[in-house]
């Protein structure tokens, strides 16, 4: 199929892999791109040298388009942005801030720019600054989030800008993908579902935690401090949340450095007590391991099936079958 997004990036299927810090490396990104989606190498807080190595590794594994995600709060943001331009990366996505200062440089280098936004205000600013597309990410997503739900944010952003919109947050199956297209999306960004992909190199404990998660098993920390982060419930998340609540009324409590190293402890060490297991609410629907290609092909087939039905047929199907698919 063709959408403005598949045409823009030169990909076969309108599925973008989420830019998950510490998770989205060359192994996962190249598998997603090889399967016809857009794989993304996520820099998180990583060094410029790490990015150069991952790009080389990904390019050795696939000749298809590949993207890089830059987390705007990274201390290395300027150097990472420069590498993206120097290496003429196909696509750059950004999160946790505005990439406005770098857009011109990227465009001059032929890099397609797709900021992740959590509000119509930032979406409009990004369109004015020259972005090629935006990802509208609802607060169902894992990691750093905004306030609005996908159900409200996606149509609102579609109304606010004329560049194509990728829907994100809470999408992990064919029904979610079909719904995202009904809301105005021309592609979906999927993160949590890829955590259990065979090519995803995170610790087994992380995969098990995702597959065991129920709908009520994520928690948002950092809301009171202005940087909300969604993650799976565990000792670390509950402790942070409790400390943050105390800190709101007790200025002697110091939250500085409370998150330091916690994502690494989850992803690399599988430390179930001290790690920050960032994942979206949709972890509740993720219960199997598959290859990236199987995930992508299954999403496409199921979304096509739901998208082909009229409302009566959907209602009839809903009356006789379970939720999955
Ligand atoms: O960026 C994400 N998700 C992330 S980044 C990340 S790494 C991290 N690690 C520890 C603590 C914090 C982050 C983990 N997950 N998603 C995209 C996203 N961007 N969601 C929300 C935003 C956002 C929020 C405010 C973007 C811009 C913004 O304000 C910018 C402005 O200038 O208005």
In eight-state DSSP terms, residue 194 is: G
Measured between alpha carbons, how far is 78 from 25 in angstroms, rounded to an integer?
20
Gap from CA of 72 to ligand 1 centroid (Å): 8
In order, the DSSP letters of 13-43 are SSEEE---TTT--HHHHHHHHHTTSBEEEE-
Q: Is the pLDDT of residue 262 over 80?
A: yes
Provide the pairing of β-strand 218-221 with 229-232. Answer: antiparallel
* Cβ 299 vs Cβ 282: under 8 Å: no
What is the mean predicted confidence (pLDDT) over 99-111?
A: 98
Nearest protein Cα to ligand 1, atom 27: 97
Gap from CA of 255 to ligand 1 centroid (Å): 19
Q: In angstroms, how far is CA 237 from the centroid of its own chain? A: 20
Sign of the four-CA dihedral 137, 143, 147, 152: positive
Report the SS3 class of residue 198. coil
What pLDDT was estimated at residue 277?
A: 98
Report the SS3 class of residue 244. helix
Gap from CA of 119 to ligand 1 centroid (Å): 12
What pLDDT was estimated at residue 258?
A: 83
Q: Is the pLDDT of residue 324 over 80?
A: no
* Predicted confidence (pLDDT) per residue in 3-53, tens digit: 999 999 999 999 999 999 999 999 999 999 999 999 999 999 999 999 999
Measured between alpha carbons, how far is 207 from 10 in angstroms, rounded to an integer?
31
Nearest protein Cα to ligand 1, atom 23: 96
Q: How many CB atoms lie within 10 A of CB 227?
A: 13
What are the beta bridge partners of residue 68? 41, 92
Please indicate, yes or no, whether the overall pTM of this predicted structure exceeds 0.95. yes
DSSP H helical ranges for 283-325: 292-307, 311-320
* Predicted confidence (pLDDT) per residue in 165-191, tens digit: 999 999 999 999 999 999 999 999 999
Whose tokens are 């379970």? That residue is 322
Measured between alpha carbons, how far is 146 from 149 in angstroms, rounded to an integer?
8
What are the phi and psi torsion angles at 21 (to 5°)?
Answer: -55, 140
**Residues within 6 Å of ligand 1 by CB:** 21, 44, 71, 95-98, 116, 118, 122, 137, 143-146, 227, 229, 259, 263, 278
Q: Is the pLDDT of residue 323 over 90?
A: no
Measured between alpha carbons, how far is 71 from 51 in angstroms, rounded to an integer?
13
* Predicted confidence (pLDDT) per residue in 147-171, tens digit: 999 999 999 999 999 999 999 999 9
Gap from CA of 149 to ligand 1 centroid (Å): 15
Gap from CA of 270 to ligand 1 centroid (Å): 23
Q: Which atom of ligand 1 is nearest to the CA of 95?
A: 1
Nearest protein Cα to ligand 1, atom 21: 145
Choose among 56, 46, 3: nearest CA to 24: 46
Measured between alpha carbons, how far is 33 from 105 in angstroms, rounded to an integer?
25
Gap from CA of 15 to ligand 1 centroid (Å): 20
Q: Which atom of ligand 1 is nearest to the CA of 276?
A: 10
Measured between alpha carbons, how far is 198 from 202 in angstroms, rounded to an integer?
10
Q: What is the mean pLDDT of the chain?
A: 96
What pLDDT was estimated at residue 251?
A: 85
Ligand 1: which of 144, 194, 221 to mutate, judged by most atoms within 8 Å of the beta carbon?
Answer: 144
| Lowest-pLDDT range of 41-45, 68-72, 257-261 | 257-261
Q: What percent of the chain has pLDDT over 70?
A: 98
């Amino acid at each position: 199929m063709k959408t403005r997004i598949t045409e823009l990036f030169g990909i076969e299927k309108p599925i973008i892999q989420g830019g998950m810090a510490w998770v989205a490396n060359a192994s996962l990104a190249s598998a997603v791109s090889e399967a016809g989606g857009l794989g993304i190498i996520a820099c998180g807080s990583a060094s410029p040298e790490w990015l150069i190595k991952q790009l080389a590794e990904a390019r050795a594994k696939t000749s298809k388009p590949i993207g890089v995600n830059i987390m705007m709060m990274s201390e290395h943001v300027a150097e990472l942005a420069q590498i993206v331009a120097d290496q003429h990366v196909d696509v750059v996505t950004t999160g946790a801030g505005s990439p406005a200062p770098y857009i011109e440089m990227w465009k001059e280098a032929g890099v397609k720019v797709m900021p992740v936004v959590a509000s119509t205000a930032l979406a409009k600013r990004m369109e004015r600054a020259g972005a090629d597309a935006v990802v509208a990410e609802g607060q169902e997503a894992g990691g750093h989030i905004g306030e609005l739900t996908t159900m409200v944010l996606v149509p609102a952003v579609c109304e606010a800008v004329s560049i194509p919109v990728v829907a994100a947050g809470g999408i992990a199956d064919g029904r979610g993908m079909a719904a995202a297209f009904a809301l105005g999306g021309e592609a979906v960004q999927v993160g949590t579902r890829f955590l259990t992909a065979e090519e995803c190199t995170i610790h087994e404990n992380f995969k098990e935690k995702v597959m065991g998660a129920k709908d009520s098993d994520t928690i948002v920390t950092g809301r009171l401090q202005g940087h909300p982060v969604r993650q799976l419930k565990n000792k670390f998340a509950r402790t942070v949340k409790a400390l943050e609540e105390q800190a709101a009324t007790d200025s002697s409590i110091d939250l500085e450095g409370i998150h330091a190293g916690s994502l690494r402890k989850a992803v690399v060490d599988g430390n179930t007590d001290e790690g920050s297991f960032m994942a979206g609410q949709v972890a509740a629907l993720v219960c199997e391991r598959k290859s990236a290609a199987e995930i992508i092909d299954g999403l496409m087939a199921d979304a096509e099936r739901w998208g082909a039905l009229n409302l009566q047929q959907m209602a009839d199907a809903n009356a006789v079958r379970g939720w999955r698919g």
